[in-house]
Amino acid sequence: MPALEVNGQPREAPDTRRNLLSYLRFDLGLTGTKYGCGEGLCGVCTVLVDGQPLRSCMTTVGAVAGGAITTIEGLATDGELHPVQQAFVDEQAMQCGYCIPGFIMSATALLNREAQPSSAQVREALAEHMCRCGTYQRIQRAVERAAAMASDPA
């Protein structure tokens, strides 16, 4: 049985072939990670595995065995929103909100590897995500705000 860590908690998955997205959503009840296309094209299922963004809909549990997985539920600490989450609230970067967890996970990974990304780097990091409500301008601003918050923690 593959062992992994989900949001800091050790877990044992029932089956190496279990789809990671289904495992997170239906077996662990972590439904903040969404299903959108099942083909890795829309980004709503994005989670972090050892800090790297990954499309969980295209991945089996076995493929991430031994890894540390972070989902949207694992970002906030002690009830305090993660700076990227806070920035999405501050910029009102959402409409229906279905895609937002995926965007936040990729943006978090981006800021972890590049604290002060250029606008082009933000767009590139989020280019494989879709927001059908079209809130891209706000998402862009939110990620830039989160980067600014990190450099100038007021």
Residues engaged in binding another protein (CB under 8 A):
18-19, 22, 25-26, 29-39, 41-42, 44, 71-73, 75-76, 81, 85-86, 88-89, 92, 94-101, 104, 122-124, 126-140
- As measured in angstroms, the least distance from the Cβ of 63 to another protein is 15
Rg (CA), the chain: 15
SS3 category, 21: helix
Start-end of H helices in 44-117: 83-90, 100-113
- As measured in angstroms, the least distance from the Cβ of 49 to another protein is 17
Residue 67 or 103 having the CB closest to another protein? 103
Residue 56 or 71 having the CB closest to another protein? 71
- As measured in angstroms, the least distance from the Cβ of 12 to another protein is 16
Beta bridge partners of 48: 53, 70
Residue 54 or 126 having the CB closest to another protein? 126
Residue 96 or 115 having the CB closest to another protein? 96
CA dihedral 48, 64, 127, 98 (to 10 degrees): -60
Residue 5 or 128 having the CB closest to another protein? 128
* 104: nearest Cα among 93, 119, 115, 113: 93
Are 58 and 117 in contact by the 8 Å Cβ rule? The answer is no
- As measured in angstroms, the least distance from the Cβ of 115 to another protein is 20
- As measured in angstroms, the least distance from the Cβ of 131 to another protein is 7
> Which H helix or E strand runs over 15?
none
Are 34 and 102 in contact by the 8 Å Cβ rule? The answer is yes
